[in-house]
Amino acid sequence: MDIAYKNTFCFLLSLLLVVSGVASSMPLQDSLLTTIDGLVGAGNNPRDIDAYSAAIAKLVALDKLHQPFGATLTKRLALNETRVRMGKQARVSELAVSMAFNRIAETVDASPRVNVATVHAFRTMLAPHAPHLITVADTPDNCNPGEALFLIYIMIANDGTIKQVSQNDGQQLQANSVRVAVKPERQPLAMKAMVAKFVEGKQDVELLRRLESVLSLLRL
């Protein structure tokens, strides 16, 4: 497997949530939260939901994945998002989001673990800056599918730990700049790096099996 293809599977294994490639995927002048939030709030019609799902895919370079898998997974996200918004499918619980994150951490032998309270805290922190993407005000215990994936993306970027930010800092929030404060000595290997290391030693079939096991926890 060539490097580009293997990197894409790294993104997939982490549920489309690894930090790599954010700056190249979104306009530099816009925060990632603002861009994604705008797409979510555009509307509930198929065209807007497809655009939102495609943005999530582009965020993690899914568009570079060999077809038809990338397109199929993007359509799968759009279908789940549509069904949830129409009330035909249950939302993703905060418990499921925590379980999915912990499954990834366990799979790559990373130490961070989160619980429902952690997931809710992340939602509460992000909600003022992305009121369409983060639905905690309307559904305190459950998330839309795209929201659930974005939350895991954020938690992987921060090793499952929230760094408190000021209101001014909040205006500049981006998914790849919300960071956990750590001591400089003996800094542990970041979870995103552990995901990449895990992927290096695995075959495609094994990686896809791992991905599906995490998606099943989210019922997606």
Over residues 29-55, the pLDDT tens digits come to 346 778 888 999 888 889 999 998 888
Please give the residue range of the domain that contains residue 190.
3-218
Mean pLDDT of 147-157: 87
Strand partners, 143: 92
d(CA 9, CA 216): 18
Amino acid at 21: G
Reported as a pLDDT band with limits 50, 70 and 90, residue 59 is low
User: What total of structural domains would you count in the chain?
Assistant: 1
pLDDT value at 220 more than 50: yes
Euclidean distance between CA atoms 152 and 25, whole angstroms: 18
Q: What is the pTM of this model?
A: 0.75
